[in-house]
Structures are given as C-alpha cells and as structure tokens.
Amino acid sequence: MNLPANLKYTKEHEWVRVEGDVAYIGITDHAQKELGDIVYVDIDTLDKEIAQDEVFGTVEAVKTVSDLFSPISGTVLEINSHLDGTPEAVNADPYGDGWMVKISIANPAELEGLLSAEAYGELVGA
C-alpha cells in the first residue's frame, strides 16, 4: 500500500499535504481500493469555510457513496476540476492527480492531531 511519509492522515481515510499556508486534501490509497471504481466526485464547498471533521463533499463509486470529511478547518480555495471529467484519477493517483480540494489552514495546531503514515498504516493493517 502506498503511504507517503510526507502526508498526514485521518481515521476517516483522508490525507493532507501542507504547502505553506494551504493544504491539499484527498482520500488515501486504502480508501480508493475499498471504494472500488470511482465514478463521480461531488464537491460544492468552493469559497466556503469548513470546520475540522465537517463534510466537504462526496465520492461516488459503483456500489456506494461516501462522505468526505475535512481533516482541518479552513476555507476551500480550489476544487480539483480535473476530477469533473476523470473521477477515476482518484483510483489511479490518489496522492497526485486525484487530490480533491485545496484549503487555507485556519488552525495549524489541528495538523498535530492527525496521523503519521506509520500510525495510519497500523490503523488499516498495512
């Protein structure tokens, strides 16, 4: 299983990559494998403030729909428009082209409460 060490993770299977004062968020390799073929990503929170653990969108696979929970608080600055036409990018490259939102970091201390790659790996049995 692919678990980049430079990312932070949640128990709900989201990842966070911090770049300066913004964070990229997506779902983990484990999550996309569990969901199966992703057919639609629905995120309508552009320019909205979201709180830590708040739902910021959904991801739809062939057999299920799953909520996306924000690992940190902030304002959604950008939604990955690439996913509109190619939601399968989440399956193919969950940590790269498959990122979902870019948000401002409202409270950097929240990042400290997230899981390391090692801790997340233990959680999912990797």
Q: Span 97-101, mean pLDDT?
A: 98
Return the pLDDT at 1. 78
* pLDDT tens-digit map of 45-97: 999 999 999 999 999 999 899 999 999 999 999 999 999 999 999 999 999 99
Mean pLDDT of the 6-35 span: 97
Among residues of the chain, what percentage have pLDDT more than 70?
100
- In contact, 90 and 59? CB cutoff 8 Å: yes
Can you give the pLDDT at residue 126?
Answer: 83
Structure confidence at residue 11 as a pLDDT band (50, 70, 90):
very high
Whole-number average pLDDT of the chain: 97
What per-residue confidence (pLDDT) applies to 116? 97
pLDDT at position 66 is: 96
Token pair belonging to 123? 């959680």
Question: CB 12: neighbour CB atoms within 10 A?
Answer: 15
Token representation of residue 14: 């989201």
Q: What is the DSSP string of the chain?
A: ----TTSEE-TTSEEEEEETTEEEEEE-HHHHHHH-SEEEEE---TT-EE-TT-EEEEEEESS-EEEEE-SS-EEEEEE-THHHH-TTHHHH-TTTTT--EEEE-S-GGGGGGSBPHHHHHHHHT-
